[in-house]
């Protein structure tokens, strides 16, 4: 029996035993599938289906998710004080965020259950992702978003994919509470990351990453922390890889939160005391503006088990790290940049050694929040309470007369 989304946040999906094949045989099978034209084989999630909770005959709802790049990022490495750094870019998914790797599994389950309506609360990316997968599955979709706190790009996606967008007066935590209450009373299928099928899909990113590293794992894996589903999923993925003999160790999983939305970091600091919600979370990284993360227990297990850390970074640190990731030709949305900002801090504190192998997980595409990017480079970015963010690495737009000599002069500044 699989548990449903409305169950306790500690329950897991019953894991399907690998089909009597050794780690070596499965690795070869997964590689072989890359040559196939079948949708499930081409999906970076379903390619690892021996570890997913559906039989091989099932129809899946897929948009070709996963198979995301692992980039070398020399400028970001330098910025962090590391000899090298890799960026696992989950923003290269069909709807531009890591949410797709979980959504393909959760919406497949909704279809299997015959659900007519799927729903979520969201800071934008879950909404965009659910809207797309629900459209593929021809299931009705409703999303609750905090009014005025979601980027236009994310809203535009959800609208185009045909979801009913409900703007709620209040922040993400209010949306989350209301939708959970509603899910208890009605037959809508809730797909926030308390839904264990989401975690199952997202855990396959650990498989893909390990494969990209020839089945070696990094010393450190660093992820942003919001509702804490992603860190939970990485914890589960690397735990399963180790226990089934695919890898020889787990990476230390560290979670980075924005200073103004950091209930998990505070909890980690006071180790095992009560988990206190942040009533008024604030950060310009709107994707992680969350004060009452639903998956904190599973995320805590991942951090504690692997010896990772939970730390905070400032708005200025996030903005500068984001610009640096851009200079590597990669780019990401603000929430993702907490990782590089956090790594820099952990290297500075001696928690990460200069030559250790580090992977930062970038969770969203640079085009998810262009307003933030333009403001940073125009030096007009400011926090909710008016604190100005310096454009340390600003790349301002120049206004130039429509004359070749004026343009030539302007270009001299490049050299």
Please count the residues of this chain forming the interface with ligand F0G, following the rule CB under 6 A.
21
Shortest reach from residue 311's CB to ligand F0G, in Å: 14
Residue linked to tokens 């045989």: 25
Using CA atoms of 92, 98, 101, 105 in order, give the dihedral in degrees to the nearest 10: -140
Shortest reach from residue 341's CB to ligand F0G, in Å: 13
Q: How many Cβ atoms are within 10 Å of 64's Cβ, its own excluded? A: 15
Specify the residue, 5 or 193, whose C-beta has the smaller distance to ligand F0G: 193
Shortest reach from residue 183's CB to ligand F0G, in Å: 16
Specify the residue, 86 or 89, whose C-beta has the smaller distance to ligand F0G: 89
Residue-wise DSSP of 155-186: HHHHHHTT-EEEEESS-HHHHHHHHHHHHHHS
CA 276/CA 365 separation, integer angstroms: 31
Which has the closest alpha carbon to 195: 398, 68, 12? 12
Q: Tell me the β-bridge partners of 252.
A: 220
DSSP 8-state assignment for residue 286: G
Residue 262 binds ligand F0G (CB under 6 A): no
Specify the residue, 26 or 287, whose C-beta has the smaller distance to ligand F0G: 287
Looking at residues 186 to 245 of the shown chain, list those that interact with ligand F0G (rule: CB under 6 A).
193, 224-230
From 124, 218, 342, 391, residue interacting with ligand F0G (rule: CB under 6 A): 124
Shortest reach from residue 223's CB to ligand F0G, in Å: 7
From 68, 76, 109, 125, residue interacting with ligand F0G (rule: CB under 6 A): 125
Residue 146 binds ligand F0G (CB under 6 A): no
CA 128/CA 89 separation, integer angstroms: 18
Q: How many Cβ atoms are within 10 Å of 63's Cβ, its own excluded? A: 18
From 137, 222, 335, 340, residue interacting with ligand F0G (rule: CB under 6 A): 335
CA 182/CA 176 separation, integer angstroms: 10
Shortest reach from residue 377's CB to ligand F0G, in Å: 20
Specify the residue, 287 or 346, whose C-beta has the smaller distance to ligand F0G: 287
Specify the residue, 94 or 224, whose C-beta has the smaller distance to ligand F0G: 224
Specify the residue, 73 or 150, whose C-beta has the smaller distance to ligand F0G: 150
Specify the residue, 62 or 151, whose C-beta has the smaller distance to ligand F0G: 151
Q: What is the 3-state secondary structure (H, E, C) of 33-61?
A: HCCCCCHHHHCCCHHHHHHCCCCCCCCCC
Specify the residue, 125 or 247, whose C-beta has the smaller distance to ligand F0G: 125
Which has the closest alpha carbon to 223: 206, 239, 200? 206
Helices (H), 222-333: 229-243, 263-269, 296-306, 315-327
Shortest reach from residue 368's CB to ligand F0G, in Å: 7
Specify the residue, 78 or 167, whose C-beta has the smaller distance to ligand F0G: 167
Cα 49 to its chain centre, rounded Å, is: 21
Q: How many Cβ atoms are within 10 Å of 253's Cβ, its own excluded? A: 27
Specify the residue, 97 or 195, whose C-beta has the smaller distance to ligand F0G: 97
- Structure tokens belonging to residue 147: 């009014």
From 43, 62, 92, 97, residue interacting with ligand F0G (rule: CB under 6 A): 97
Shortest reach from residue 165's CB to ligand F0G, in Å: 13
Q: How many Cβ atoms are within 10 Å of 25's Cβ, its own excluded? A: 12
Residue 364 binds ligand F0G (CB under 6 A): yes
From 123, 151, 250, 254, residue interacting with ligand F0G (rule: CB under 6 A): 123
Looking at residues 103 to 122 of the shown chain, list those that interact with ligand F0G (rule: CB under 6 A).
122
Q: Count how many residues are written for the chain.
A: 415
Shortest reach from residue 227's CB to ligand F0G, in Å: 3
Shortest reach from residue 145's CB to ligand F0G, in Å: 8
User: Which x/- pattern, by CB under 6 A, does the window 287-326 give for ligand F0G?
Assistant: xx--------------------------------------
Shortest reach from residue 195's CB to ligand F0G, in Å: 12
User: Three-state DSSP class for 321?
Assistant: helix
Shortest reach from residue 26's CB to ligand F0G, in Å: 27
Specify the residue, 26 or 175, whose C-beta has the smaller distance to ligand F0G: 175
Angle CA 346–348–349, to nearest 5:
65
E-strand spans in 77-231? 86-89, 117-121, 140-146, 164-168, 189-190, 220-224
Q: Which residues bind ligand F0G (CB under 6 A)?
A: 97, 122-126, 193, 224-230, 287-288, 333, 335-336, 363-364
């Amino acid at each position: 029996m699989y548990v449903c989304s409305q169950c306790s946040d500690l329950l897991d999906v019953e894991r399907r035993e690998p089909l009597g094949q050794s780690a070596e045989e499965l690795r070869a099978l997964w590689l072989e599938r890359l040559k196939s034209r079948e949708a499930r084989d081409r999906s970076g999630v379903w390619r690892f289906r021996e570890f997913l909770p559906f039989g091989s005959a099932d129809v899946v709802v897929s948009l070709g998710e996963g198979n995301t790049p692992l980039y070398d990022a020399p400028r970001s490495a330098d910025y962090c004080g590391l000899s090298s750094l890799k960026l696992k870019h989950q923003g290269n998914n069909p709807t531009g965020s890591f949410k797709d790797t979980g959504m393909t599994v959760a919406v497949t389950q909704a279809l299997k259950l015959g659900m007519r309506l799927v729903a979520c609360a969201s800071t934008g990316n879950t909404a965009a992702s659910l809207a797309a997968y629900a459209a593929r599955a021809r299931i009705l979709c409703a999303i609750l978003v905090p009014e005025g706190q979601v980027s236009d790009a994310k809203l535009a996606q959800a609208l185009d994919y045909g979801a009913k967008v409900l703007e709620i007066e209040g922040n993400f935590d209010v949306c989350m509470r209301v939708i959970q209450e509603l899910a208890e009373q009605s037959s809508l299928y809730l797909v926030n990351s308390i839904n264990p099928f989401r975690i199952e899909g997202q855990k396959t990113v650990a498989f893909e990453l390990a494969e990209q590293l020839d089945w070696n794992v990094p010393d450190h894996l660093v992820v942003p922390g919001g509702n804490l589903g992603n860190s939970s999923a990485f914890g589960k993925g690397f735990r399963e890889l180790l226990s089934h003999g695919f890898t020889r160790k787990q990476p230390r999983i560290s979670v980075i939160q924005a200073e103004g939305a950091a209930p998990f970091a505070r909890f980690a600091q006071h180790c095992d005391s009560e988990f206190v919600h942040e009533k008024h979370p604030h950060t310009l990284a709107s994707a992680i503006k969350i004060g009452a993360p639903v998956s904190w227990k599973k995320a805590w297990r991942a951090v504690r088990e692997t010896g990772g850390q939970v730390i905070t970074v400032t708005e200025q640190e996030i903005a500068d790290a984001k610009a640096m990731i851009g200079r590597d030709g990669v780019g990401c949305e603000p929430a993702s940049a907490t990782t590089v900002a956090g790594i820099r801090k952990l290297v500075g504190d001696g928690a990460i050694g200069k030559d250790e192998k580090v992977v930062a997980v970038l969770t969203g595409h640079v085009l998810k929040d262009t307003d933030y990017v333009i403001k940073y480079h125009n030096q007009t970015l400011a926090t909710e309470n008016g604190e100005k963010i310096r454009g340390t690495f600003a790349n301002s737009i120049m206004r130039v007369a429509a004359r070749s000599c004026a343009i030539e002069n302007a270009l001299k500044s490049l050299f």
